[in-house]
Structure 1
Amino acid sequence: MRADAARRREAIISHARHLFAERGGDVALEAVAAASGVGIATLYRNFPSRDDLIRAVVQDTVEGILEAAVEARAGLEKDAAGSWERLLAQLMSMELGALTDGLALQAGAARDLNTTPLAQVQQPAVKALDEVLAELKRRGAVREAITALDVIVAVATITRPQISPIREAAPEVQAQLAQAYLLWSRVS
């Protein structure tokens, strides 16, 4: 893929994630194209369907989680608590809640979300987070009961898209909830 085509593709993925976070998973693909600075035909050349775009956003997010897990592991020796705090901040910045609607749309009527194709894409991230959490637990930095899925669900819930009037009325709530989760997750 040419460098300019790769940049366009990454821009579409990045803007799609942001718009999913802001407006939910059923945002018009024309809005994604416009935000990305491309025409709708270019978006469809890169992502023939909404599911393809959602899958690309999920894959990109998984890669981000894997990178965050590697960084967290690197900092464990010096400062386990700080490593946990930085990991949580990185996860919050990924707008994981943006994927909630997308996953629900893609899953459709599935009874078990773990069987959807997107859930399978997420498995490496869950495994990497579980490994980091195991080390954090060993060092006494987080509660024993916390799992990677707990962390992902908590962050996704905190970063879930809200309608504009709610975001405007309480702009600091996400940061406050993230801080509360951080404090709760630490060993007492």
Structure 2
Amino acid sequence: MRADAARRRADLVRAARHLFAAEGGDVALDAVAEAAGVGIATLYRNFPSRLALADEVALAILEDVREAALTALGTISQDPEVAWDTYVRRLAGLDLGALSAALAEHLTDDLSAPVRTAQEQTLASVEYVLAGARRAGLVRHDLAPLELVLGIGLITRPLPAAVARDVPDLVPRMVDVVLAGLRAT
């Protein structure tokens, strides 16, 4: 793939990811194309269907979650508290709400093979981080990897403008609350 074509494809995924997080998986594909600075024909050349675009968004986010987990695993044995805190805050910055929207395009049993494989690998990496955090007493024993990822996705969804204006620090505050609430008792 030519460099300019690859860049346009990445721009489409980035725009879809942001719009899925902000507006849900049923956002107009014209809006995705416009946000990426391309025409709708370019979107359809890259993604023949909404489902194909949703798959690509899901794969991109799952890769980011997996990379965050691998980074945390590299440091959790030296300083578990910092590694866990950094990991959860990094997850909060990943547009995880877009993952929920992208996966909602599928029924649980209908995930494409690449998305299912990426999801399994990602959740396994999240479980390794959770295991390290559990050993350090930083997280409850009953938290599942999917619960963590979806929970962070829920609290980091974009807020209506009025809410964001009136409570500008809501997301960081909610991340603090979640971190405190996840502690082992």
Instruction: Name the TM-score, length of structure 1 as normaliser.
Output: 0.88
Q: 1:136 aligns with which of 113, 133, 143?
A: 133
Greater shift in the superposed pair: 132-141 or 45-54: 132-141
Counterpart pick for 1:116 among 99, 110, 115: 110
Q: Deviations over 1:131-162 (max 9, x none)?
A: 11112212223222222112012112112344
Aligned residue type for 1:178: V
1:32 counterpart residue number: 32
- C-alpha spacing 1:168/1:23, structure 2 compared with 1 (3 Å): farther
Name the counterpart of 1:103. 103
Secondary structure of the structure 1 residue equivalent to 2:177: helix
TM superposition shift of 1:98: 2.0
Q: Distance in 2 between matches of 1:70 and 1:168?
A: 35
Query: Post-superposition shift, 1:172?
Result: 2.3
Q: Identity of aligned pairs, percent?
A: 39
Q: Deviations over 1:17-38 (max 9, x none)?
A: 1111122221111111111111
In 2: Cα distance, 1:100 partner to 1:163 partner? 18
Uncovered stretches (5+) of structure 1, i.e. residues with no partner: none
Equivalent-residue separation in structure 1 for 2:162 and 2:25 (angstroms): 18
The alpha carbon displacement at 1:182 in A equals 1.0
Structure 1, residues 43-86: CA drift from partner, whole Å, max 9, x if none? 11111111111100000011101100110001112210111111
Quote the residue 1:41 is aligned against.
41
Matches for 1:57-96 after TM superposition, within 5 Å: 57-96=57-96
* Unaligned stretches of 5+ residues in structure 2: none
What is the rounded CA distance, in whole Å, between the counterparts of 2:148 and 2:161 in structure 1? 26
Other-structure match for 1:149: 146
- Aligned Cα root-mean-square deviation (Å): 1.8
8 A contact 1:20–1:161 mirrored in 2: no
What is the alpha-carbon distance in structure 2 between the residues aligned to residue 135 and residue 7 of structure 1?
A: 37
State the Cα distance separating 1:101 from its structure 2 match.
2.9
Equivalenced residue count is 182
Is 1:171 the counterpart of 2:165 in the alignment? no
Deviation at 1:90, TM superposition (A): 1.2
Task: Note if contact 1:13-1:57 (Cα within 8 Å) is conserved in structure 2.
Answer: yes
Runs of 4+ in 1 over 6 A off after TM superposition: none
Give 1:102 shift.
3.1
Q: Secondary structure at the match of 1:97?
A: helix
